[in-house]
Chains A and B, each alone.
Chain A
Amino acid sequence: MIEVVFGGAELRAVTPLLVVVVTAMISLLYEVFNEDHSDPARPVWLSLVGIVGGIVATVALWENGHSAFHGTFALDGVSAFTNVVCLLAAGLSLLMAPGYLTSIGVRAREFYPLVLLAASGMMVMGGARDLIVLFLGIEIMSIAAYVLAGIHRTDVKSGEAALKYFLLGAFATGFLLYGIAILYGATGSTGYDAIAAALPKASKLLVLGGVALLIVALGFKVSAVPFHFWAPDVYQGAPTSVTALMAVGIKAAAVVGFARLFIVALAPLHQDWAMVVWWLAVLTMTVGNVTAVAQNNVKRMLAYSSIAHAGYLLAAIVAGTPRGGGAVLFYLLAYTFMNVGAFAVVISLGRKGEANEQFDDYAGLASRQPLIAAAMVLFMLSLTGIPPLVGFVGKLYLIEAIVQAGYIWLAVIMVLNSAISAYYYLRLIFEMYMRDPAGPASAMEPAPLLIACLLLATVGTIFFGIFPDAPLDFARNSFLALR
C-alpha cells in the first residue's frame, strides 16, 4: 500500500512550483474578471512577480541530495539550476511579449499565464526523478506550448505551427509512454534509482527497446536529427516571443530531463546508449549547421542553429559523467542569454504587417539602429563561441567534459562544427554592417520592456563570459551530488 506523505520535504519541493502556478491562476482569473484592457503591459507585471518569486523560492529552498514524494521529485542542485534557467527564459520571453503582441494584433491576455504554466512544466521536468513525473512535466509544458504556438489566431502560419507542433508532440508522447511501459516491465519500477539498481538483472533486450523508444521521444523534444523536421517550421511560424521560449526554455528542460535520465537512471547501460547518442549528437550538430548556412530567413536560421546547439548539448550527455551534466547545465544558462537576446533583436525589427525576418531586412541595420545591431553582433559572436563571451566558456566546458570522458573525435567534430557556424552568424553581421539598407525603413523605437530584455541578455552574455566561475562550480557540483 502506498502511504501518502506530505511533509516538510514535499512542501519544500513544490513551493517554487506553487508560486509559479498560483500566480498563473491569479493572473488568469484577474484577466477574466477585469474589464479594463487598456494597458497591454499590466498582465506582464503580475507574471513577472511569479517568475521572480519562483526564482527566489528556488534559491532559498534548494538543497543537494534533497528528494521528496518517495524519491520521485527533488529540488536539488540540478533542479534548482534548471528552475532558474527556465524561469529566466520565461521571464525574458515575457518581457519581449507585450509590445510585440500588440504590434501583431494579438489581444489574447491568457498568453502570460500560459507562459507561466509552461515554465512550471519545465520545472517539473528538471526535478523529475521518476519517469512518470518526467512524463507529467513534459505534458504540462507541452500543452501550454501548443496553445502558445497558435496564439496568433488570425495568422495562418501560427495555426500551422501549432498544428504541427501538436501532432508531432502527441506522436512523441506515444513513444515516450511506450518506452516507459517497457522499462517498467523490465525493471519493475519507474523511479530512476530503482531502475539503475534493477538494470543489471533486467532483460537486456527489453531494456534496450525501451531506451530506444525513450531516445526517439526525447529526441523529438530536444529536436535532435533525425527527429528535428518539425522544429524549423514551428519556430518560424510561431510568434517570435513563443519561439524564444521554445528554443530556450523547452529545449533546456528537455535536455536536463534527458541528461538526468541517462546519466543517473541509465548509467549502468552507458556503453550501450553512448554510441547511439554519439551519432545522434554528430548528426544533429552537423545537419543543423549545414542547413542553417542555406537559410535566408533569420528566424529559420536561428531555428537550425538551435538544432545545432542541441547537438552540442547531446555531445556532453554522451560523456555520461557528472562533468558532462554540469557542462550541459552551464551551457543552457549561456544559451538562454545569447539566444533569447537574438530573438529579442528579431522582434525589435518587426512592424505591424511585416515581420522583417529576411536577411535582406537586416541590411544596413547598423546605421538605423546602432545599439540593437551591436547587441546582435554580441549574440552572434557568443553563439559562434568567440571569447570572452559566455558562449565560448560554455563550449569550452562542454569540450572539456567530452574529452575527459575520452571522446576526442566528438570534441574535434564539435570544434569543426563551430567553425561552420561562424559562416552564417557572420553573414548576419555582414548584412548589418556592410550592406546598405534596401529601402528607407522607418526607425521604430523598441518598447521599454523589450529594451530591458535586450539589456539583461547583453549583460548576461558578457558578464558570465568573463566571470563564469560561480555558475560553473554550481553546475558541476550539483551533478556530482547526484551520484
Chain B
Amino acid sequence: MPTNVLTWMIFLPLVGAIVVLCLPRNAANLIRGTATFFTIPPLIMAVWLYQHFDRATSDMQFVTKIPWIPSFNIQYFIGVDGISITMVLLTALLSFICIIASFGIEKAMKAYFALFLLLDAAMMGVFCALDFFLFFVFWEVMLLPMYFLIGIWGGPRREYAAIKFFLYTMVGSVLMLVAMLALYFYAEPHTFDLLELASRSGSYSTGFQRIAWIGLFIGFAIKIPAFPFHTWLPDAHVEAPTAISVILAGVLLKMGTYGILRINYPILPAATLDFAFYLLIALGTWNIVYGALCAMAQTDFKKLIAYSSISHMGYVMFGMATMTSEGINGAVLQMFNHGTVTAMLFLLVGVIYDRAHHREINGFGGLAGIMPFYTGWTALAFFAAMGLPGLSAFISEVLVLLGGWRSYPALTIVSASAVVLTAGYMLWTMQRIYLGKANEKYVGLPDINGREIFTLVPLGIIVVVLGVYPRPVLDLINASLVHLNQVVAGKAQVALATAGNMVP
C-alpha cells in the first residue's frame, strides 16, 4: 500500500463508478451503499497519508512514476507535497460527506452516483498529478460529470447554468492547453513533467513566461473564480443540487488557486513576481470587496453563499500574491478552511431547501424557534464564515492580512475592512431567517435530522479545532511553501539579473 496509495485513492472511486453502473436500476439502497462504500477507503487512506507524511521536507512524497506515452515523454507521475496533501484530505472528506448528503436524490440515481464517483476520481487525480498532461486529462475529465450533475439534477434553470459552466471552463481549458503545449515545446528535451519544467525555469525568457503565465492564469482564474470570470459561479451554484454545490465550492474552486501555486509559481517565477505584485493582489482585493458587496445584495440564500465564496477566495489570491511566508501559508490554510466552512453553509442551505422548497431569505423568519438545532449549526457556520476568533477562518484570514501588511498597507486595510461587510451580510441574513417573528407557513417544519447532522459533525469539529490549534495543517504545508517561496524569489532574481546584464 505505501507506494501506490495515491493510485488507489484515484482509481477506487472510478472502479466504484463502474460497479454502480452494473447494479440493478431499482436497488436504491444498494446503489447508495455501494457508492458510499467506495468513498470510505480513500478517506481511510487520506488519514493514513496524514499520519505518514514527512513534514520536514518539501519533496514530493508517495511518488509513482511510470512511462505512459513515451512518444510524447508523458508519464503517469503522481505524488503529493504539503500543498496537495491538504487538498487531497479535503477532497476525500468532502466526497464522503457529499455522497451521504446525496441520499435524497431520486431521479436516475444510478447515473448520479456513477458520475459523482467519476468526479471524485478526477478531483483526486488533479491534486495528485505531477505531469502536466496527466493534470490536464484529469482536469478535463472533471468537466463532464460536473456538467451532467448540474444539467440533469439541477434546479429550474439547470440547462442554462450547465452550459454556462461548461463554456466558461472550456475556454479556460483551451487557453491552458495552449500554454501547456507552449511549455512542452519550449523545454528542451520536450517534457510535461512539472518538476522538470520547474527546474528549467531559469532558461525561459521573461517574455515567454509572461505570455504563458497569462494563458494559464486565465484558465485557473475561471475556476477560482476571479473577477471578471466569476459570473458562471452564482448560476451554477443556484441550480446545482446541494451535494454538488458543496463539491463545487469546497473542492473545484480550490483547483484554480492550487493550479496557480503548482504550475504558475514554480515554473514561471519571473512572470509570477511581475504579475503577483500588480494583477494578483489587485484581483484578490477586488474579489474580497466585490464578492462581499454582491452577497449583501442577494435575496437568494444560496446565491448569497456563492458570492461569499467569491469573496473568501479573494483572500486566497491576496495571500498568494504577497509572497511572504505568512501570506502564502495563510492562503493555503484558507483554501482548506474555506473548503470546510463553505461546505457546511451549502449543506445547511440544502437542509432548509429540502423542507421549504425555496431559498428566499425574506420568505423565512423566526426559524430559531422552529428548528433550534438547525439554527445552532447555522450559527456555527456563519460565525466561522465571518472569521470570528476561535474558529478556523479567523486564523487564515489574519495570516493573509499579516502577510500583506508589510508591502501593501493600503490594500490590506481595504481587505481587512471587508471583514466588516462580511459580518454585516452574515448577521443580517441570520436576522432575517432565524430571528424575528416566526413565519406561520413553516411552523411545522421538522428539525435537522440525523443524517444531516452526521454530514455536519466532522466539518464542525475541524472548524473548531483548527480555529484553536491550526498546527495540524500549518505543519503539513509549511516546508513546501517555504521552498516554493524561495524558488520563486530566487529564480526570479536570477532571471532579472541576467536580463539586467543584457542591458548595456
A residues neighboring B (CB under 8 Å): 370, 377, 381, 386-388, 392-393, 396-397, 399-400, 403-404, 411-412, 415-416, 418-419, 422, 426, 430, 433-434, 468-469, 472-473, 476
Contacts and interface: CB of A to CB of B under 8 A. Distances in A.
Contact of B159 (A377, A388, A411, A430): A430
A468 B71 CA distance: 9
Contact of B181 (A399, A430, A468): A399
B162 interface: yes
Nearest to A422: B170
A387 B137 contact: yes
A469 B70 contact: yes
B174 interface: yes
B171 A473 contact: no
B144 A393 contact: no
Contact of B178 (A388, A415, A473): A415
B69 A472 contact: yes
B113 to A, nearest CB: 15
A468 B148 contact: no
B144 A381 contact: yes
B361 interface: no
B42 interface: no
Contacts of B70: 469
Contacts of A404: 185
Contacts, number: 58
B71 A469 contact: yes
Interface string B132-151: 00001100110110001001
Contacts of A415: 174, 177-178
A159 to B, nearest CB: 40
A403 B159 CA distance: 37
Closest 8 CB pairs of A and B: A387-B137, A472-B71, A419-B174, A388-B137, A387-B140, A434-B159, A434-B151, A469-B69
Contacts of A419: 170-171, 174
B147 to A, nearest CB: 8
A201 B152 CA distance: 66
A415 B181 CA distance: 11
B181 A433 contact: no
A175 B176 CA distance: 44
Given A386-B140, A396-B181, A472-B71, 20 more contacts: A381-B144, A387-B137, A387-B140, A388-B141, A397-B71, A399-B181, A403-B181, A404-B185, A415-B174, A415-B177, A416-B174, A419-B174, A430-B159, A430-B163, A433-B152, A434-B151, A434-B159, A468-B71, A473-B71, A476-B71
B408 interface: no
B312 interface: no
Q: Determine the main DSSP class of B at the interface with A.
A: helix
A399 B143 CA distance: 23
**Category for how many chain B residues contact A:** 20 to 34
A399 B140 CA distance: 18
B158 interface: yes
A387 B141 contact: yes
Interface in B57-85: 69-72
Contacts of B103: none
A396 B190 CA distance: 14
Nearest to B181: A399
Contacts of A434: 151-152, 158-159, 162
23 contacts: A370-B111, A381-B144, A386-B144, A393-B69, A396-B72, A396-B181, A397-B72, A399-B181, A400-B181, A403-B181, A411-B181, A412-B178, A415-B174, A415-B177, A419-B174, A426-B166, A430-B159, A433-B148, A433-B152, A434-B158, A469-B70, A472-B69, A476-B71
A403 B72 contact: no
A392 B163 CA distance: 21
Interface centre among A377, A387, A388, A416 (most CB of B within 10 A): A387
B179 to A, nearest CB: 11
A469 B73 CA distance: 11
Contacts of A430: 151, 159, 163
Contacts of B177: 415
Interface string B211-252: 000000000000000000000000000000000000000000
Contacts of B140: 386-387, 392
Contacts of A388: 137, 141
A400 B185 CA distance: 8
A434 B143 CA distance: 16
Contacts of A381: 144
Contacts of A386: 140, 143-144
A403 B71 contact: no
B3 to A, nearest CB: 22
Contacts of A422: 170
Contacts of B178: 412, 415
Contacts of A377: 144
Nearest to B177: A415
Nearest to B163: A430
A320 to B, nearest CB: 18
A399 B144 CA distance: 24
Contacts of B151: 430, 433-434
A418 B174 contact: yes
A55 B137 CA distance: 32
Nearest to B111: A370
Nearest to A426: B166
Contacts of B158: 434
Nearest to A476: B71
